[in-house]
Amino acid sequence: MAARTKARKRAVDVLYEADVRNRDRKALLAERVADGNPPIPEHAIRLVEGVEEHAGRIDALIEAHAANWSLDRLPDVDRAILRMAVYELLWADDVPDAVVIDEAVELAKTLSTDDSPAYVNGVLGAILQAEIPSSS
């Protein structure tokens, strides 16, 4: 498994845990980094901190593009995947958009329901189309 793929999975783990335990993301991240078992890659730290920094905008975008679903009705793991991927799409310029979406879909295949990969793909595609001007 590629280093960034592992980092995304760890970021989703922390975001998911913070959400379901109603914990502060940065405090939980600090605990997981200090624990070091398993280690938290730098890219995962960047993703969790980025989600925290831009949480209001990220959640508003997911809410706006999650067809017929409110943010709190989404499966917890899907919410974590979407938050991480939206941050990476809009604020991490060193990762191609297609890679971000593909990785998020793969995480949904591994961690969530049978319907989640298509749903995650659709939400992220809609956000990408709305937020990033086309180069054509």
Least confident interval from 13-17, 65-69, 72-76: 65-69
Q: What is the pLDDT of residue 48?
A: 98
Helices and strands of the chain, counted as H and E runs: 7, 0
Distances (CA, A) of 41 to 32, 124, 136: 11, 24, 36
Domain boundaries, given as residue ranges, for the chain: 3-130
First to last CA, the chain: 34
| Residues 3-130, CATH architecture | Orthogonal Bundle (1.10)
**pTM (global) more than 0.85:** yes
Tens digit of each residue's pLDDT (9 = 90 or more) over 73-111: 999 999 999 999 999 999 998 999 999 999 999 999 999
Q: At residue 106, what are phi and psi to the nearest 5 degrees?
A: -65, -40
Q: Angle, nearest 10°, between helix axes 42-53 and 76-91?
A: 90
Mean pLDDT for 6-34 is 96
| DSSP structure class, residue 71 | G
Whether 37 has a pLDDT exceeding 90, the answer reads: no
Query: Which band of pLDDT confidence, cut at 50, 70 and 90, is reported for residue 136?
Result: very low
